Structure 1
């Protein structure tokens, strides 16, 4: 996967960490990820509270385009910059 300039490769570790943060925040479970030329296809279930008071799993499929992934990466880098100790 290339960065937003199209010249440099993005480390998969960084990309999966950013994507994983998003999926965790959206309460995804039972996840399958497939890399495509357009980005990553993510299939899984989103956990939500049911009317009966239990847990409900709704199937979801998303295509994260390379542009979407760039945004997730920039947000992740921003979170890391904020969490660095100040000297």
Structure 2
């Protein structure tokens, strides 16, 4: 995947860190990450509340993060960390 300029490859560390944050936020567990030509395919389970506070149900989930999805996750990660990642005057969605 190329960075916001389209000239340089994005580091795996940054991409996987941003992806990991998303998976943590959505309570994924038992995760498989598969790189495809389209991006990253994620297979795992989402921990959902069960019948009481001590029990959880695991729901299977499969997601495809395209290069555009990953670019968006990276922009959010750079904003959280305050390290830029793009033009400071870029869009404010």
TM-score range, shorter chain: 0.7 to 0.9
The one-character-per-residue Cα deviations of 1:56-77 (angstroms, maximum 9, x if unpaired) are 0000000000000000000000
C-alpha distance in 1 between matches for 2:38 and 2:61: 18
RMSD, matched Cα: 1.3
* Residue of structure 1 equivalent to 2:91: none
**8 A Cα contact 1:4 1:67, kept in partner:** no
* Residue of structure 1 equivalent to 2:86: none
The one-character-per-residue Cα deviations of 1:19-58 (angstroms, maximum 9, x if unpaired) are 00000000000000000111000000000101x2110000
Unaligned runs of 5+ in 2: 84-93
Quick check: 1:8 aligned with 2:8?
A: yes
C-alpha distance in 2 between matches for 1:10 and 1:65: 14
More helix, by proportion? 1
Number of residues paired by the alignment? 81
* Residue of structure 2 equivalent to 1:23: 23
